[in-house]
């Protein structure tokens, strides 16, 4: 059993975070100053920089501010931006979480807003110390997975090891989410064969085709100079590695950012916007994908890297699985698991998969990841457009 924080809305979190969310870039500095003195006390900064409204961004902020790991929310507004503040506040309030809005223009400027925010944080941190605890079964756990800073070892060690950990979790009816449809090009028919039903298989093929069209429109696949320097040569080759992190379980459905799976199983998260390409690259950095995994309810995320990545995340812990033994030797302070032992013959795929699985349970029970210990709280949110998923994307009736 996992010892969690019980929310008023019935959800269970593995962390008890206070979120400070800015609703336009103009409120970013004030929000950052409010958070600064409380970073080590579970106060995290998130936000949306845009001045004009966007349904995707609003849904993301609603999902993140009511995430099971979040205990209370402070929203910071300049006052003249287009974000629907009242709707977001009402959503958080209905979830039973303490929430406050600071309007910088109404409060009287920078210093007064920072002082007002810090006073509320002090009060709320003390209030959250009385949050009730509750046991959570593994089948109630949601875990996401992402790869970043990949090299030629990623698809050989870390990604398949994370896939094995996913298989262990799905066997116990936990919810597992993998994504990066733009890095699964060429693997759509293999995923379709694993779909729970033929209709879902067809939707998987369409989803990856949309991603391929999107990247073609911008003339750039999801592969960077660092990937090439690390030995990857094509997006198809990268796709083989990205696919490995999904494991071998049946795929239960397709979701989009902010959709919470209706039951346990393995889900593909579609992160590529719908409609004609217009917003630039679907996810400009890895942390955009982590945020989308969190918006779908991920209590924590697995992150594989061969080249080496130091990022963590606000709200949810990130477990870093290092694929390359040389990278692990250089950057071990940032890595949680040395999957490169597989290449060196010091561990099997199943052994590392089990190690990751065991670490997931320890982190869910409060053990800090390396990125948490180092204070990483990266976050980014941009504009996108999505249509709701259709019936064929949902799991079959149990």
Q: Which two tokens stand for residue 208?
A: 């990856």
- Shared-domain flag, residues 198 and 303: yes
Q: What is the pLDDT at residue 236?
A: 67
Instruction: Please report which helix (H) or strand (E) contains residue 178, including its range.
Output: strand 175-178
Phi, psi of 260 (to 5 degrees): -100, 125
Instruction: Please report which helix (H) or strand (E) contains residue 188, including its range.
Output: helix 188-193
CB 23 within 8 A of CB 157: no
Task: Indicate the SS3 state at residue 26.
Answer: helix
Q: In DSSP terms, which residues pair with 254 in a beta bridge?
A: 268
- CA gyration radius, the chain: 20
CA 120/CA 74 separation, integer angstroms: 8
Q: What is the pLDDT at residue 242?
A: 83
Task: Work out the pLDDT band at 240, boundaries 50, 70, 90.
Answer: confident
Residue 374 confidence (pLDDT) above 60: yes
Among residues 152, 155, 144, the alpha carbon closest in space to that of 301 is found at 144
CB 89 within 8 A of CB 61: no
- Shared-domain flag, residues 273 and 212: yes
Task: Indicate the SS3 state at residue 398.
Answer: coil
Would residue 323 count as lying in a domain?
yes
pLDDT digits (tens, 9 = 90+) for 84-105: 999 999 999 999 999 999 999 9
Residue 239 confidence (pLDDT) above 60: yes
pLDDT digits (tens, 9 = 90+) for 262-303: 999 999 999 999 999 888 888 888 999 999 999 999 999 999
- Shared-domain flag, residues 69 and 39: yes
CA 312/CA 318 separation, integer angstroms: 5
Domain count, the chain: 2
pLDDT digits (tens, 9 = 90+) for 66-80: 999 999 999 999 999
State which of 134, 150, 167 marks the end of a domain. Answer: 134
Among residues 192, 332, 224, 218, the alpha carbon closest in space to that of 278 is found at 218
Average pLDDT, the chain: 93
Q: What is the pLDDT at residue 369?
A: 98
Q: What is the pLDDT at residue 87?
A: 98
Q: What is the pLDDT at residue 155?
A: 86
pLDDT digits (tens, 9 = 90+) for 35-47: 999 999 999 999 9
pLDDT digits (tens, 9 = 90+) for 190-235: 999 999 999 999 999 999 999 999 988 988 766 666 665 656 566 6
Would residue 213 count as lying in a domain?
yes
Would residue 398 count as lying in a domain?
no
Residue 86, domain CATH: 3.40.50.2300
State which of 134, 156, 177 marks the end of a domain. Answer: 134
Would residue 106 count as lying in a domain?
yes
> What is the domain extent for residue 61?
2-134
Q: Within 13 Å of residue 8, how many CA atoms lie on the same side as its CB?
A: 12
Among residues 347, 314, 301, the alpha carbon closest in space to that of 146 is found at 301
CA 125/CA 238 separation, integer angstroms: 44
As a residue count, the chain comes to 398
- Shared-domain flag, residues 149 and 26: no
State which of 96, 115, 134 marks the end of a domain. Answer: 134
Helix, strand and coil in the chain, % to nearest 5: 40, 15, 40
């Amino acid at each position: 059993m996992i010892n969690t924080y019980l929310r008023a809305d019935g959800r269970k979190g593995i962390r008890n975070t206070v979120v400070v969310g800015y609703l336009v870039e103009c409120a970013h500095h004030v929000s950052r100053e409010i958070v600064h003195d409380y970073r080590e006390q579970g106060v995290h900064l998130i936000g949306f920089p845009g001045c004009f409204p966007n349904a995707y961004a609003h849904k993301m902020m609603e999902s993140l501010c009511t995430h099971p790991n979040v205990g209370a929310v402070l929203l910071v507004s300049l006052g003249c931006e287009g974000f629907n503040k009242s709707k977001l506040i009402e959503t958080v309030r209905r979830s039973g979480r303490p929430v406050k809005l600071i309007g910088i223009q109404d409060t009287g400027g920078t210093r007064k807003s920072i002082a007002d925010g810090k006073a509320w944080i002090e009060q709320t941190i003390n209030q959250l110390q009385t949050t009730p605890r509750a046991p959570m079964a593994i089948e109630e756990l949601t875990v996401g997975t992402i790869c970043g800073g990949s090299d030629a070892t990623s698809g050989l060690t870390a990604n398949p090891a994370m896939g094995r950990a996913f298989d262990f979790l799905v066997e116990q009816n936990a919810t597992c989410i993998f994504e990066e449809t733009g890095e699964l090009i060429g693997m759509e028919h293999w995923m379709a064969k694993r779909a729970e039903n033929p209709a879902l298989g067809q939707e998987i093929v369409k989803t990856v085709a949309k991603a391929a069209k999107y990247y073609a429109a911008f003339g750039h696949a999801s592969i960077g100079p660092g990937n090439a320097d690390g030995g990857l040569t094509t997006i198809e080759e990268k796709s083989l590695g990205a696919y490995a992190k999904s494991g071998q379980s049946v795929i239960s459905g397709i979701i989009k950012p902010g959709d919470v799976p209706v039951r346990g199983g393995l889900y593909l998260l579609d992160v590529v916007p719908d409609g004609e390409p217009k917003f630039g690259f679907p996810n400009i950095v890895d942390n955009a994908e982590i945020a989308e995994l969190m918006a779908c309810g991920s209590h924590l995320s697995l992150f594989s890297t061969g080249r080496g990545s130091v990022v963590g995340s606000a709200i949810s812990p990130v477990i870093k699985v290092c694929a390359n033994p040389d990278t692990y030797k250089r950057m071990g302070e940032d890595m949680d698991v040395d999957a490169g032992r597989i290449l060196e013959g010091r561990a099997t795929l199943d052994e590392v998969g089990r190690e990751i699985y065991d670490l997931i349970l320890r982190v869910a029970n409060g053990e800090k990841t390396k990125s948490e210990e180092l204070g990483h709280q990266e976050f980014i949110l941009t504009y996108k457009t999505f249509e709701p998923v259709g019936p064929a994307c949902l799991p079959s009736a149990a």
